[in-house]
């Protein structure tokens, strides 16, 4: 019964995540940018824009220049999250790729970086007055959900172990639209339930800054207003 319930939950969550994310990205891509507004100093070539986006996505360059403490917590969380996600790929592969195997020890302890970053980002919403003023319940609930996911995952890794062979069989079964037996460990069920909840609310949450940064005109535009007249696609249609 529990296996079927979680299987249906993850199938629904996956559909909502993929469809919702695709719709949001489509909306971002179709939103006109009528003004040339790159944040200066900005690159004057397309190659420069690519390098700028790389530094922004990997190193959080603008946040580092703005606030070192927030950068530390944010960067620790995001980089730890990527290592943990890479580590979890093994649950979706029969034969684990060499690079996934290589990331296993790093992904294990990257959870501490994730938790450190999350707690730091959450603390600033209480301790920094101007951040506390603009924080709303959804901000705290989102951070609480992420802490629950990380905390329950760490509990299973370092305190109360679960049958990961059965978990892998369950996940591989979901990919083939089959329902395999899922262990009924309470911490595992909490962890998977929280992950499914995150997948469902992701397309309508502030976490959409992940794909949204690539569509930000202040980041993805070339600083060439003197050389090239900037005309939004919708304006070109009016001219023609």
d(CA 54, CA 87): 23
Residue 238 predicted with pLDDT over 70: no
CATH topology of domain 2-223: Fumarate Reductase Cytochrome B subunit (1.20.950)
Averaged pLDDT for residues 15-26:
96
Residue 192 predicted with pLDDT over 70: yes
pLDDT digits (tens, 9 = 90+) for 34-52: 788 898 889 999 999 999 9
Residue of 66, 39, 67 whose CA lies nearest to 53: 39
Count CB neighbours of 152 within 10 A. Answer: 21
Kindly state the tokens that stand for 139.
């901000």
Q: Domain segments of the chain: what residues? A: 2-223
Q: What is the reported pLDDT for 224?
A: 87
Residue 240 predicted with pLDDT over 80: no
Q: Which residues contact 108 (CB under 8 A, 6 or more apart)?
A: 87, 157
Map residue 224 onto helix, strand or coil.
coil
Q: What is the reported pLDDT for 124?
A: 95
Kindly state the tokens that stand for 180.
């395999």
At how many degrees (to 10) do helices 137-158 and 98-127 cross?
140
Query: What's the mean per-residue pLDDT of the chain?
Result: 93
Q: What is the reported pLDDT for 234?
A: 66
d(CA 107, CA 111): 7
Burial of 77 (0-12, 13-18, 19+ CB in 10 A): buried
Residue 225 predicted with pLDDT over 90: no
pLDDT digits (tens, 9 = 90+) for 147-176: 999 999 999 999 999 999 999 999 999 999
Residue 239 predicted with pLDDT over 70: no
Judge contact between 194 and 145, C-beta under 8 A: yes
* 71-80, 91-100, 183-192, 226-235: segment of lowest average pLDDT: 226-235
Q: pLDDT confidence of 1, banded at 50, 70, 90?
A: confident
Q: Output the CA torsion 213→215→220→224 (10° steps).
A: -150
């Amino acid at each position: 019964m529990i296996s079927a319930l979680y299987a249906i939950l993850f199938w629904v969550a996956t559909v909502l995540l993929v469809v919702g994310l695709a719709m949001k990205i489509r909306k971002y891509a179709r939103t006109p940018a009528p003004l040339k507004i790159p944040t200066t100093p900005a690159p004057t070539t397309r190659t420069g824009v690519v390098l700028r986006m790389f530094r922004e996505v990997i190193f959080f360059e603008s946040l580092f220049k703005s606030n070192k403490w927030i950068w530390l917590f944010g960067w620790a969380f995001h980089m730890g999250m990527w290592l943990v996600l890479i580590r979890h790929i093994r649950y979706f592969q029969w034969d684990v790729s060499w690079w996934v195997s290589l990331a296993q020890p790093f992904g294990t302890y990257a959870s501490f970086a994730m938790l450190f970053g999350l707690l730091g980002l959450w603390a600033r919403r209480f301790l920094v007055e101007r951040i506390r003023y603009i924080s709303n319940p959804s901000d705290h609930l989102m951070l609480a959900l992420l802490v629950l996911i990380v905390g329950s995952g760490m509990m299973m890794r370092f305190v109360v172990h679960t049958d990961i062979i059965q978990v892998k069989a369950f996940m591989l079964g979901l990919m083939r639209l089959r329902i395999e037996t899922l262990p009924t460990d309470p911490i595992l069920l909490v962890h998977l339930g929280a992950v499914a909840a995150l997948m469902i609310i992701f397309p309508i949450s502030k976490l959409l800054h992940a794909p949204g940064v690539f569509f930000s005109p202040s980041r993805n535009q070339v600083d060439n207003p003197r050389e090239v007249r900037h005309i939004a696609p919708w304006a070109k249609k009016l001219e023609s």
